[in-house]
Amino acid sequence: MKISALHIYPVKSLGGISLQEATLTSKGLMYDRNWMLLDENGVFMTQRKYPKMALILTKIKNGQLIFSYKETGSITSIPILKKYGETIQSKVWNNSCEVQKVDSIGEWFSEIFGFRCTLVFFPEKNIRTKKPQYSTSVQEQLNAKIIDTLTLHSIFKNADINFGKSDTESLPCRTYYVEGEKYDLIVENCTKIARIKKLIVL
Protein backbone atom coordinates (compact mmCIF):
# COMPACT_ATOMS: atom_id res chain seq x y z
CA MET A 1 0.00 0.00 0.00
CA LYS A 2 1.30 3.47 -0.95
CA ILE A 3 0.05 6.66 0.69
CA SER A 4 -0.05 9.39 -1.98
CA ALA A 5 -1.35 12.22 0.22
CA LEU A 6 -1.77 12.82 3.95
CA HIS A 7 -4.20 15.31 5.46
CA ILE A 8 -5.75 16.00 8.85
CA TYR A 9 -8.87 18.01 9.60
CA PRO A 10 -8.61 19.36 13.15
CA VAL A 11 -12.18 20.72 13.03
CA LYS A 12 -14.84 18.65 11.30
CA SER A 13 -15.76 20.22 7.90
CA LEU A 14 -13.24 23.07 8.06
CA GLY A 15 -10.16 23.25 5.84
CA GLY A 16 -7.59 20.51 6.27
CA ILE A 17 -3.83 20.51 6.72
CA SER A 18 -1.52 18.76 4.27
CA LEU A 19 1.27 16.82 5.99
CA GLN A 20 4.51 15.17 4.95
CA GLU A 21 4.38 12.97 8.04
CA ALA A 22 2.00 12.43 10.93
CA THR A 23 1.96 10.99 14.43
CA LEU A 24 -0.33 8.00 14.90
CA THR A 25 -1.91 7.91 18.35
CA SER A 26 -4.39 5.53 19.94
CA LYS A 27 -7.13 7.82 18.58
CA GLY A 28 -5.85 7.92 15.00
CA LEU A 29 -3.81 10.71 13.44
CA MET A 30 -2.84 13.35 15.98
CA TYR A 31 -5.20 16.38 16.00
CA ASP A 32 -7.53 14.88 13.36
CA ARG A 33 -11.18 15.84 14.01
CA ASN A 34 -10.62 16.71 17.65
CA TRP A 35 -12.95 19.73 17.45
CA MET A 36 -16.26 20.56 15.76
CA LEU A 37 -18.65 23.50 15.39
CA LEU A 38 -22.19 23.58 16.75
CA ASP A 39 -24.92 25.89 15.44
CA GLU A 40 -27.29 27.93 17.59
CA ASN A 41 -29.41 24.82 18.23
CA GLY A 42 -26.43 22.76 19.38
CA VAL A 43 -26.35 20.69 16.17
CA PHE A 44 -22.96 19.92 14.64
CA MET A 45 -22.24 21.86 11.45
CA THR A 46 -21.16 20.35 8.10
CA GLN A 47 -20.06 21.77 4.75
CA ARG A 48 -23.09 20.08 3.19
CA LYS A 49 -25.34 22.57 4.98
CA TYR A 50 -22.85 25.43 5.42
CA PRO A 51 -20.53 25.56 2.35
CA LYS A 52 -18.81 28.63 3.81
CA MET A 53 -17.00 26.29 6.21
CA ALA A 54 -14.67 25.34 3.32
CA LEU A 55 -13.37 28.94 3.35
CA ILE A 56 -12.04 28.64 6.90
CA LEU A 57 -8.49 27.32 6.82
CA THR A 58 -6.63 25.72 9.72
CA LYS A 59 -2.97 25.56 10.69
CA ILE A 60 -1.09 24.25 13.72
CA LYS A 61 1.94 26.17 14.95
CA ASN A 62 3.66 26.61 18.32
CA GLY A 63 0.93 24.80 20.24
CA GLN A 64 -1.84 26.88 18.68
CA LEU A 65 -4.68 25.92 16.35
CA ILE A 66 -4.90 28.86 13.95
CA PHE A 67 -7.97 29.77 11.88
CA SER A 68 -8.07 32.10 8.87
CA TYR A 69 -11.13 33.16 6.86
CA LYS A 70 -10.44 33.46 3.12
CA GLU A 71 -13.08 36.11 2.36
CA THR A 72 -11.81 38.70 4.85
CA GLY A 73 -8.34 37.56 5.84
CA SER A 74 -9.42 37.52 9.49
CA ILE A 75 -7.25 35.31 11.72
CA THR A 76 -7.71 33.93 15.22
CA SER A 77 -6.38 31.02 17.25
CA ILE A 78 -6.84 28.85 20.32
CA PRO A 79 -4.29 26.98 22.44
CA ILE A 80 -4.21 23.21 21.92
CA LEU A 81 -5.19 21.78 25.30
CA LYS A 82 -6.35 18.45 26.69
CA LYS A 83 -9.23 20.12 28.52
CA TYR A 84 -11.30 23.25 27.86
CA GLY A 85 -14.50 24.60 29.41
CA GLU A 86 -17.98 23.37 30.30
CA THR A 87 -18.92 19.83 29.30
CA ILE A 88 -22.17 19.61 27.32
CA GLN A 89 -24.13 16.88 25.52
CA SER A 90 -24.15 16.86 21.72
CA LYS A 91 -24.66 14.52 18.78
CA VAL A 92 -22.65 13.54 15.72
CA TRP A 93 -25.33 12.19 13.39
CA ASN A 94 -27.09 9.72 15.72
CA ASN A 95 -24.16 9.30 18.07
CA SER A 96 -24.57 11.03 21.44
CA CYS A 97 -21.35 12.34 22.94
CA GLU A 98 -19.92 14.65 25.56
CA VAL A 99 -17.95 17.66 24.35
CA GLN A 100 -16.26 20.64 25.98
CA LYS A 101 -16.98 24.24 25.01
CA VAL A 102 -14.09 26.38 23.78
CA ASP A 103 -15.40 29.69 25.08
CA SER A 104 -12.79 32.07 23.72
CA ILE A 105 -13.58 31.82 20.01
CA GLY A 106 -17.35 31.47 19.50
CA GLU A 107 -17.86 35.12 18.54
CA TRP A 108 -15.33 34.89 15.69
CA PHE A 109 -17.25 32.03 14.06
CA SER A 110 -20.60 33.67 14.84
CA GLU A 111 -19.62 36.78 12.85
CA ILE A 112 -18.77 34.65 9.82
CA PHE A 113 -22.00 32.63 9.77
CA GLY A 114 -24.40 35.26 11.09
CA PHE A 115 -25.69 33.20 14.01
CA ARG A 116 -24.35 31.98 17.34
CA CYS A 117 -21.76 29.23 16.90
CA THR A 118 -19.86 27.21 19.49
CA LEU A 119 -16.53 25.47 18.97
CA VAL A 120 -16.33 22.28 21.02
CA PHE A 121 -13.64 19.72 21.78
CA PHE A 122 -13.89 15.93 22.10
CA PRO A 123 -12.50 14.98 25.52
CA GLU A 124 -10.62 11.76 26.07
CA LYS A 125 -13.49 9.81 27.61
CA ASN A 126 -15.66 9.97 24.46
CA ILE A 127 -15.94 6.56 22.77
CA ARG A 128 -14.46 8.04 19.61
CA THR A 129 -11.31 9.10 21.42
CA LYS A 130 -10.81 6.26 23.86
CA LYS A 131 -7.82 4.03 23.34
CA PRO A 132 -9.16 1.10 21.30
CA GLN A 133 -8.22 -2.45 22.18
CA TYR A 134 -8.67 -5.46 19.91
CA SER A 135 -10.21 -8.85 20.44
CA THR A 136 -8.12 -11.88 19.53
CA SER A 137 -9.99 -12.32 16.23
CA VAL A 138 -9.48 -8.68 15.22
CA GLN A 139 -5.79 -8.86 16.10
CA GLU A 140 -5.51 -11.95 13.89
CA GLN A 141 -7.13 -10.03 11.02
CA LEU A 142 -4.61 -7.24 11.50
CA ASN A 143 -1.74 -9.73 11.52
CA ALA A 144 -3.11 -11.29 8.33
CA LYS A 145 -3.21 -7.80 6.74
CA ILE A 146 -6.93 -8.03 6.03
CA ILE A 147 -7.02 -4.43 7.28
CA ASP A 148 -4.31 -2.04 8.43
CA THR A 149 -4.29 -0.20 11.75
CA LEU A 150 -4.72 3.26 10.19
CA THR A 151 -7.86 2.21 8.31
CA LEU A 152 -9.24 0.44 11.37
CA HIS A 153 -8.76 3.52 13.55
CA SER A 154 -10.33 5.77 10.91
CA ILE A 155 -13.48 3.63 10.79
CA PHE A 156 -13.63 3.48 14.59
CA LYS A 157 -13.32 7.25 14.89
CA ASN A 158 -15.29 8.60 11.94
CA ALA A 159 -17.81 6.06 10.61
CA ASP A 160 -21.52 6.17 11.45
CA ILE A 161 -23.03 4.20 14.31
CA ASN A 162 -26.12 2.12 13.48
CA PHE A 163 -28.16 2.29 16.67
CA GLY A 164 -30.66 -0.21 15.29
CA LYS A 165 -27.93 -2.85 15.44
CA SER A 166 -26.36 -1.55 18.67
CA ASP A 167 -27.13 -2.57 22.25
CA THR A 168 -26.74 0.53 24.40
CA GLU A 169 -28.23 -1.20 27.45
CA SER A 170 -25.77 -4.11 27.64
CA LEU A 171 -23.60 -4.45 30.75
CA PRO A 172 -20.87 -4.03 31.78
CA CYS A 173 -20.03 -2.51 28.37
CA ARG A 174 -22.42 -0.97 25.87
CA THR A 175 -22.14 -2.42 22.36
CA TYR A 176 -22.10 -0.27 19.22
CA TYR A 177 -22.34 -1.29 15.57
CA VAL A 178 -20.09 0.99 13.49
CA GLU A 179 -20.72 1.03 9.74
CA GLY A 180 -17.94 1.76 7.23
CA GLU A 181 -17.82 1.52 3.45
CA LYS A 182 -15.88 -1.76 3.22
CA TYR A 183 -15.81 -2.88 6.86
CA ASP A 184 -18.18 -2.81 9.83
CA LEU A 185 -17.11 -2.94 13.48
CA ILE A 186 -18.74 -4.20 16.64
CA VAL A 187 -17.31 -2.11 19.49
CA GLU A 188 -17.71 -2.58 23.24
CA ASN A 189 -17.69 0.76 25.03
CA CYS A 190 -16.41 0.16 28.56
CA THR A 191 -15.57 2.65 31.32
CA LYS A 192 -11.96 3.26 30.36
CA ILE A 193 -11.48 1.56 27.01
CA ALA A 194 -13.29 0.80 23.79
CA ARG A 195 -12.75 -2.77 22.60
CA ILE A 196 -13.13 -3.59 18.92
CA LYS A 197 -14.76 -6.97 19.34
CA LYS A 198 -15.41 -7.91 15.72
CA LEU A 199 -14.37 -6.75 12.23
CA ILE A 200 -16.88 -7.58 9.48
CA VAL A 201 -15.60 -7.52 5.90
CA LEU A 202 -18.41 -6.43 3.57
Q: What rounded mean pLDDT belongs to the chain?
A: 87
Q: What is the pLDDT of residue 124?
A: 62
Q: Are residues 89 and 101 in the same domain?
A: yes
Q: What is the pLDDT of residues 149-186, one digit of tens each?
A: 989 988 888 888 887 888 877 777 888 899 888 999 99
Reported pTM: 0.62
Q: Are residues 60 and 136 in the same domain?
A: no
Domain boundary among 83, 105, 126: 126
Q: What is the pLDDT of residues 50-94, one digit of tens each?
A: 999 999 999 999 999 999 999 999 999 999 998 898 888 787 776
Q: Are residues 75 and 108 in the same domain?
A: yes
Q: Which of 167, 161, 150 is CA-nearest to residue 184?
A: 161
Q: Are residues 110 and 11 in the same domain?
A: yes
Check whether 192 has a pLDDT greater than 80: no
Residue 15: pLDDT band with limits 50, 70, 90? very high
Check whether 95 has a pLDDT greater than 60: yes
Kindly state whether residue 61 falls inside one of the protein's structural domains.
yes
Q: What is the pLDDT of residue 27?
A: 57
Kindly state whether residue 1 falls inside one of the protein's structural domains.
no
Domain boundary among 126, 158, 182: 126
Kindly state whether residue 52 falls inside one of the protein's structural domains.
yes
Q: Are residues 101 and 145 in the same domain?
A: no
Q: Are residues 91 and 106 in the same domain?
A: yes
Q: Are residues 73 and 112 in the same domain?
A: yes
Kindly state whether residue 2 falls inside one of the protein's structural domains.
no
Domain boundary among 126, 158, 192: 126
Range 107-120 average pLDDT? 96
Question: Which residue range is the domain that position 35 belongs to?
Answer: 7-126
Q: Are residues 172 and 108 in the same domain?
A: no
As for how many domains the chain has, the answer is 2
Kindly state whether residue 67 falls inside one of the protein's structural domains.
yes
Q: Which of 14, 41, 51, 12 is CA-nearest to residue 116?
A: 41
Kindly state whether residue 88 falls inside one of the protein's structural domains.
yes
Residue 30: pLDDT band with limits 50, 70, 90? confident
Q: What is the pLDDT of residue 3?
A: 72
Kindly state whether residue 187 falls inside one of the protein's structural domains.
yes
Range 43-56 average pLDDT? 94
DSSP calls for 96-133: EEEEEEETTSHHHHHHHHTS--EEEE--TTSGGGS-EE
**CA distance linking residue 183 with residue 43, whole number of Å:** 27
Check whether 125 has a pLDDT greater than 60: no
Kindly state whether residue 78 falls inside one of the protein's structural domains.
yes
